[in-house]
Amino acid sequence: MAKIGVFDSGYGGLTILDAIRKELPQYDYLYLGDNARAPYGTHSFDVIYRYTLQAVKYLLEQDCALVILACNTASAKALRTIQQRDLPLIKDKKVNVLGVIRPTVEAVPAITQTGHVGILATPATVSSESYVLELEKIAPELTIVQQACPMWVPLIEAGEHNEPGAKYFIGKYLRELLAKDPQIDTIVLGCTHYPLLKDRIDEWLNYRQEIGESEFPAPKELPHITTIAQGELEAESLRDYLTRHPEYRDQLSQGGTCTYLTTENADRFAQSASIFLNTPIVAEHRDL
């Protein structure tokens, strides 16, 4: 019987895993964080593709029938090539790899009222234009602006995101995004690490709304902004996928377990992951 593999460059995929396990607790999961090589989001296509393929191959060797790329950067840069070039070479078992961008994009048109949408993501996801291209396909009337946030993943990986200094970088990227388009009413957190900053992002946005900042002279007239995190969207999408694809669902074991693997120090991973997940976990080290 097979497991569901969940992969991220580091801790961010835990936000997706957590939501998926709430929605589909019966399955067995194998989480892999490539913390030793995070962040991915500042690397080139070749590096992101190579690292992601190594992780996917590893999870498939551990009997995963499905691998969720719980990482926008890997989904934007490596998913299509892996699906089209690498998976067809695996002929002896039925396996698939799924990403997080499409389920997120599908939720956006129903949320925005102004039709102005902001995407916050890693530099690699922004440069791939994946969100812009996917949104143009389903809702060409929307105005999309993107903002790369290169410091956010390093802050989270270093456990510094709740420290006072993080506020500077949270405000910096939000200010840069909103300066490009003040009519934005919907912001996609297009990186699975960013939900760990969601409270602080919302706090900054509310502050801007209520008190204003010098570059926003009429804050009360600005639209209220909804931030979209991906966990629940991905969980619903996976549930739907398994309903439509019994060939994968029927391979999955149902022990309700989760095993955590990291390419970094296992104790450090377990300590941070326990805080993010709000429950104690143990982790094991693996080299890819």
Residues that bind ligand DGL (CB under 6 A): 8-10, 12, 38-41, 71-73, 122, 125, 153, 191-193
Inter-residue contact 13 to 39 (CB < 8 Å): no
Known catalytic residue: 191?
yes
Cα–Cα dist 275/81, whole Å: 34
For ligand DGL, the closer CB: 9 or 147: 9
Q: Which of 64, 149, 191, 258 is catalytic?
A: 191
Shortest distance, CB of residue 125 to ligand DGL, whole angstroms? 6
For ligand DGL, the closer CB: 173 or 222: 173
Indicate the length of the chain as a whole number: 288
Shortest distance, CB of residue 194 to ligand DGL, whole angstroms? 8
Known catalytic residue: 64?
no
Neighbour-count burial for 179-210, b at 16+ CB within 10 Å, e otherwise: eeeeebbbbbbbbbbbbbbeebbeebbeebee
H/E element, 156: helix 152-157
Shortest distance, CB of residue 192 to ligand DGL, whole angstroms? 4
Shortest distance, CB of residue 39 to ligand DGL, whole angstroms? 3
For ligand DGL, the closer CB: 60 or 191: 191
Place of tokens 């909103």: 178
Inter-residue contact 9 to 33 (CB < 8 Å): yes
Phi and psi torsions of 34, nearest 5°: -90, 55
Residue, CB closest to ligand DGL: 41
For ligand DGL, the closer CB: 52 or 112: 52
Catalytic amino acids? 71, 191
